[in-house]
Structure 1
Amino acid sequence: MSRPTRRKDAARTIAFTVLREVWGNGAYANLALGQRREGLHAADAAFVTELVSGTCRALGTYDLIIARASGRALNSLQPAVVDVLRLGTHQLLAMRVPTHAAISATVDLAALQIGERVAGTVNAILRKVAAHDVAGWLELLSEGSDERGRLALATNHPRWIVDAWAQVLPADELADALAADNVAPSPCLVVRPGLADRAELGGTPTRWSPFGAHRDGDPSAVDVVREGRAGVQDEGSQLVALALARATAPAGPWLDLCAGPGGKSALLAGLAREAGELLVASELQPHRARLVADNLRAYREPNRPVTIVADATRPAWRDGAFARALADVPCTGLGALRRRPESRWRRKPTDLPGLVALQRDLLSTAIRSVAPGGVVAYVTCSPHPAETVEVVAGATGVTVLSAPEHLPEVPDAASGDFVQLWPHRHGTDAMFLALLRRNA
C-alpha cells in the first residue's frame, strides 16, 4: 500500500519550528517568531504570528482539550506530537480555517516533521477535538468549577494567576484585566531625550509619556530608531523612569541597577544629562550588557552614560555613591503577558520564592547605593503582591514617597502610595512602581 502524498506548508512548518523552540528549548515566542518569519509574504507572516501567539496564549486550555479528546495524559505523547496537536487545535477552535483543511494540513505537518507513524494518532485526536467548538469545550471542562476556575479557562490563564489578580483588583475589573492580556499591544517607540524629538517618531503620541508614540510596522524602518536616537519601549516603562527623574533628590550620578536590555537606561540617560548628571548602567550578564551599551550608543559627551558588568547583589561601587537608583528587578514578567503569552504557562507559583529573595536583595542594594536623601525607584513588570507591595514592606531605612504624586497625569494608577498600571486601564504593561527615600 503506497503512502499518501504529503503537502509541505511553509507557514505551518515555521510555526511548528518556533513552538518547538519555545517549549523544547525555552525560547521566547516573540523573538523566535521574529527570526523565523523573515522573507514570508505578509499574509503568511500574519498567519504564522497568529498560529504561534494564539497557541501559546491558550496552551493550557488546549492541553486540557487534547487530553480529554485523546483519553490519555499528554506526557504519554511525544512532545513534538503535542506541539502539532496544539497547533491543530488552535486552527480548529480559534482561527477561520475550515475543519477539513485544519486537520489535513496538521496531519501532513506531523507526518513530514515527526514521521508517518504518528499521522493516524494526530488525525484521530484532532477529529475528536473538532467534535465541539470552543464554547462547547469550555462548558465540558468547566463542569464542577467555581467562578474563578471558569474565568481562568475562558481567559486562558492558570488559576493561580487569576487568584493573584483577584487580590489586587476590584471584582468587577478582574475579567477585563485577564481579557486584556490576550490583546497584542501596538508597537510603542520612545525618543532618547536630547537626541530626538517625538515628532520624528511619527505615529500617534502616547497618552501620558511625553517621549513616546505608537506606530505600526517595523520599528527598525524608522530613521531615529535605526540611528539609536530612539528605541522601542512600552509606555508604562517610560512612565516609571519619568517618575524617578521627577523626584526631588540630591545632586549626583544616577544608577540603573539591573539595566539589561537597556530601554529604561536609554531614557534615564537622557533625563540625567538634562539634569547635568551621569548615568551608570549596571548589568550582570555580559551579553545583556552589550545590549545596554547598544541602546546607549548615540549618547556622547558631556556626561556620556557608562555601562558596566557587575553583580548588583555584590555591588562594584561604594555605598551612597548615587543620588537616584532604578531597581527594575527580575520578576515573573506576568505584567507583560500581552507580549509574551507563553509566560503564563511557563511560570509557576514555585518560581516566586527564589525571585522574591533576589528582589529583596536587589532593593536592599539599591537603598544602600544612594546617599541619604537619595531616591530609589523599585519597579517590577508584575502586579503579583509577593513581588511588589510585600517586597517593599520589608525594606528598612527608607521613607515611602507617594509615587502617584509623581505621575499625576495618569488616572486610576494609585494603589496607596504606589503606582500600579494595567493593560485594561492604561493600555500599558502592568508595571508596579514604588519610590523610596533613604533616611539620614
Structure 2
Amino acid sequence: MASFYLILVIIGGITLWLPLSHHGDVRFLDAFFTSMSAVTVTGLAVVDTGSAYTVFGQVVIAILIQMGGLGLMTFAVFVLSAIGIPVGISQRLILREDLNQSSLGDLAKLVRTIFVVAVGCEVIGAVLLAFIFVPASGWAYGIWQAIFHSISAFNNAGFALWPDSLTRWVDNPLINLVVPALFITGGLGFIVLGDLYAKRRWRALSLHSKLMISGTVALTLWSWVMFGALEWHNPGTLGGLDSIWAKVQASWFQAVTTRTAGFNTVDIGELHDSTALMMMTLMLIGGGSTSTAGGIKVTTFIVLLLATVAFFRRSTTLHAFGRSLGLNEVMKVLALTTVSILIVFVGLFVVSISHDGSFIALAFEVTSAFGTVGLSMGTTTELDTIGRVVIMCVMFLGRVGPLTLGFFLARHTVPKVRYPQGQIFLG
C-alpha cells in the first residue's frame, strides 16, 4: 500500500512539473512537495496553488486529493467491480489494509458506501459554494473554484486557490457552514456514516460509531470555546474582527478545521502560543478511522483516556456504552501513539537543525504535516531543501505509516515460548 501511494506521488509530481501544469515558476521539488501534500491530503504548500498552477495543474491536484483521500485500492476495486472484473484475494488484502479493516467481509459494500457518500457530499458542497464563488469569479472559474474546494474540504485536504485560504470570507455564514460540514462528514469515517444511514437510532449504533460521534462533539465544543477564549482580544485574529457574530463564526471554523481539515479564516501566524499548542494537540488527535482525516484518530485518543481511568480505578477491562474493550485494543493504541509521537519528535529535531525559525512555529508545522492537516504559521515557504524533504516524509508517514502499523498490530499472534513474570518499578 505504501508503494502504491509513493508511485502516485511520483506520477503526480512529474505531471505537476510539466509546463502545461504551471506558469513557469514551479521547480521539481515544489511540484513533488505539492503532489505529496495532495496525495496525503495535507494541504501544506510551498507555492500558491491558485497563481502558480494552471487550471490543468489544479485539476491534477484535485484528482490527487480525491485518490489520496478515498484510497487508491478503493478506486481500483470500484472500477474493477463496475466493469465486471472479479477482485482477487490479493487485492482484497490490500484494500483491507487501505481501509484499516480487520476482516475481508463487506469490503465491496464499504467501497460502494464510500463512493456514494463522497460523490454526493462533494456535489452538494460544490452547488452551495457556487453561490459564493460564481458572483466573485464568473461562471466558468467560479464553478471550478466551487468544485475544487468541495473536493478539498470533503477529503480534509485544506488546499485553497487563494494564498490567504478562506480569510476573506471569515464572516460569511455559507462558508462557515458548508466547508466545515464537508470536512466533518469526511472526517467522521465511512463506517460511521454507513452505520448512521443503516440504523438511524443511537441505541442501535455500533460502539465505534458512538465513540466517534461523542468524541467528535466533545472535542469540537471544547476547542470552539477554548479558541474563542484564548483569541478573543488578539488583534491579529479574533480581536481584529468587527462583530461578536464574526468572532463566534471564526472560532467555530478554526475549532473544527484543526482536526485535519487545513482551511483557515484567520491568520494562523498571529496565534498566541497557548492557542497554537491547543491546536497542535487537536491536530495530533485527528479525525476518524476509515475517513479522509489523519492523526492518531479520535477513537485512539478515547481509548487512551479510558485506559488511564481504568488504571487508576484498578480495573482490568475498559467499558464504554455498555461494551468492553480488551487488552489487544489497548496495546494497539499504545503502539500507534508511541510511534506517532516518535515520528513528530524526530521530524521536529531534524527540521530544527537546518532551520533557525521559531520553535513553536516549527513544532506546529511538523505536527500539521503528521496529522495531514495543512495549517501553517508561515514556516512552509521558509524551509530549506532538507526541511521540505523532512516535512514530505512526515506527511507520508502520517498518511500511511501508523495506519499500516495498526493493520499489522491488529493480527493475533500466539507466543511459542512463555517466560516467568518479572517485576519492574514504574512512575
- The alignment's TM-score, normalised by the length of structure 1, stands at 0.27
* Larger strand percent: 1
Bigger Cα Rg: 1
Q: Which has the higher contact order (CA 8 A, sep 6+)?
A: 2
Answer 1 or 2: which has greater helix percent. 2
